[in-house]
Amino acid sequence: MEAQSASATATSVRRLRRELQLIQQSPNSQVAVKPSSSSLLEWHFALHSLPADTPYSSGCYHGRLLFPANYPHAPPTVVMVTPSGRLEVGCRLCLSMTDFHPESWNPAWSVDTILTGLLSFFLSDSESGYGSVQSLDEQRRQLARSSWAHNATDPDFVQLFPELMEPPERRASTAQGSSQERAAHMQARECWICRDVGSEPLIHPCACRGSMSGVHASCVEQWMRHQRQAGGGGSRPRCSICREAYLGQEVRPGLSSFVFHYASDFGGQLICSALLVAMLLGFQDCWRGKEAALPLPASIAFILMFGCVTLHKFAVLAASLPLHRPPPRSPRAQRFHTSDPQKLARNSAEALTTICVLAVWYMRGELPFVAFLPFGIVGVCFVLKVFSSRLSWSSLCVLTRAVLRCLLLPVMLLRHVTLSLLDPRWVLQLVHPLGAGSHALLVLGTLLLMLCSSNVPLILLWAVHSAALALAIAEKVMAARLVWRHTFAWIYVAQLAFFSMYVANTCCHFQRGFCPDRTWVPVATASALWLTCVCTMALVVNWEECVRHYRNWQRQHGVFTLAHRGEAFAEHRRDLPV
Ligand SMILES: [Zn+2]
Ligand SMILES: [Zn+2]
């Protein structure tokens, strides 16, 4: 089993083994659970013998638990297999102890806790979340009766739960140990996070006593790191059970790391988009025949490379979409799966852009049909795949509504703008000199001036706006009498200004104006100065938000070290200031 779950870390394997041992020692009469024969990171469970006053009493519900390689620092994915009329089948369930909420996960929770929580969520109709469905009791009873036949068609279920193949006449109730009793089985000498004794000494860094008190310092530190990165935890690191603050030292990264982090992130994105554009242009060049800039062998190599890159992108999307789907069963497909919404959005945008650009080139006759065909087919297959996995009457309605909304978008936008323009408050907000709206309008105005053949109006506008902004910055920093409106919209103003500068310096060729021999020199200088003023203004107005964001980032990327390592810590802590 160990060899097959190569991606699992030693900690997750040890902890899951120990949990299995504890479950086998005191089994739950309503929940049967077993790891899959192929991987210790995939467990199967069956909810059965449920209370007689619920519509599920005659049913047996199969589901899967998929553990991440860094378990117990991150929560597992929970997916139902048997239809119940209560929980959706084949999608990741949204509960506080699943991977939907990594920020609320607690490493003290075990498989047993997760399944007990799932069972209570399942039985109570009042709670809802992503993955829960509303149905009539009669439908649920019907599904409960047919659940046995459904489970019999699942090879995993047949293999793992042969004792649950038939509905029992009356299931003998086995003695169910309470969670306290089960906790008593745990040995007091093991770390409550990794469930190992290990060579590292156990410490007692908080008020917890008994079987849940001993923990490895390295396990606590690793857990703090995971919790912070998931966006959870308060300002001080605390024990997740007794809530007592841990004593220790926290090293937080400084401003230079913050700037480097964002600069490298932005640089990476810029390089990625530049590479995509270069690839697209190169691909187009390969099909120009005799006019092509690349020699034939290089063209063939380029086409192959471009094919591989786009295939990889589509494989990622095929394995990961729709959003919230569980990882695919095949280990090969699992390599392409990602549940990170940001990564998925970027991949989708890049794939969509590639197909759209190729389609436009094909329609303009700049690309032969053979070159566009594979991408067109992959795109269509892809759309079909996304919708076929959830093809139902309601999904068709959603699709129709989405298409209609796209078609009616211009009308809706026009209506929205007209209605907003009639509202005097909105107009005031848009043209208020101390708000972001008036500056955004001015930046948009610079785009219009780029249509002139002379660079004079553009440079004059930039100069006047820069001077006004410089005065405003000085007022904000030194006098601060005026009440500037700090909103997120300033970010858009800065982005628009960057875009405007980019267009002016790359796409526009001014024939007349300042410095007639080299009109681009004053344009580049003035635009750089202007962009600096706009960005400084956006920063100065939103200073508090920026500082808050920076502090948050520092907290997420800080490294926590427990003050004292070793058994003697419990005696020392009374003397230390809290
Ligand atoms: Zn440990
Ligand atoms: Zn504690």
What pLDDT digit, counting tens, does each position of 562-577 carry?
886 544 444 444 444 4
Residue 223 Cα to ligand 1 middle (Å): 10
70 in Cβ contact with 197 (< 8 Å): no
State the catalytic residues. 94
Q: Domain extents for the chain?
A: 10-177, 185-252+558-575, 269-387, 431-556
- Taking the domain 10-177, which CATH number applies? 3.10.110.10
Question: Residue 127's pLDDT is what?
Answer: 67
248-251 and 31-35: which strand pairing?
A: unpaired
**185-252+558-575 has CATH 1.20.1630 classification:** no
Q: Is the pLDDT of residue 168 over 90?
A: no
Asked if 501 and 535 count as a contact pair (C-beta separation under 8 A), the reply is no
Task: Tell me the CA–centroid distance for residue 42 and ligand 2, in Å.
Answer: 29
Contact 82, 89 (CB under 8 A): yes
- Ligand number nearest CA of 220 is 1
- The Å distance, Cα 438 to ligand 2 centre, comes to 54
Q: Which ligand is nearest to the CA of 15?
A: 1
Examine the pLDDT at 434 and tell me if it is beyond 50.
Answer: yes
- Give the whole-angstrom CA distance, residue 269 versus residue 495: 15
β-bridge partners, 216: 202
* Cα–Cα distance, 497 to 214 (Å, whole number): 56
DSSP string, 331-391: HHHHTT----HHHHHHHHHHHHHHHHHHHHHHHTTSS-HHHHHHHHHHHHHHHHHHHHTT-
Among all ligands shown, which has an atom nearest to the Cα of 238? 2
* Segment 102-105 long-range contacts (CB within 8 Å, at least 24 positions apart): 102/74, 102/75, 102/230, 102/231, 102/232, 103/227, 103/230, 103/231, 103/232, 103/233, 104/232, 105/74, 105/75, 105/227, 105/230, 105/232
pLDDT level of residue 172 (50, 70, 90 thresholds): very low
Non-local (6+) Cβ contacts of 293 within 8 A are 285
Closest ligand, as measured to the CA of 204: 2
Ligand 2 centroid to residue 495 C-alpha, Å: 47
Ligand 1 geometric centre to CA of 199 (Å): 10
Nearest CA among 18, 420, 375, 422 for reference residue 191: 18
With CA atoms as reference, report the closest residue to 163 among 65, 21, 27. Answer: 27
Counting ligands in written order, the one closest to the CA of 208 is: 2
Residue 45 has φ and ψ, to the nearest 5°, of: -135, 160
Q: Report which secondary-structure segment, H or E, holds 35.
A: strand 31-35
- The model's pTM is 0.64
Would you say residue 197 has pLDDT above 80? no
Centre a 10 Å sphere on the Cβ of residue 514 and count the other Cβ atoms it contains: 18
Distance 279 CA to ligand 1 centre (A): 48
Name the token pair of 473.
């910055």
Interval between CA 218 and ligand 1 midpoint (Å): 7
Q: How far apart are CA 523 and CA 525, in angstroms?
A: 6
pLDDT band of 267, cuts 50, 70, 90: very high
pLDDT tens, position by position, 24-46: 888 888 899 999 988 888 999 99
Cα of 245 from ligand 2 centre, angstroms: 8
| Helical H segments across 232-340, by residue range | 255-286, 296-320, 331-334
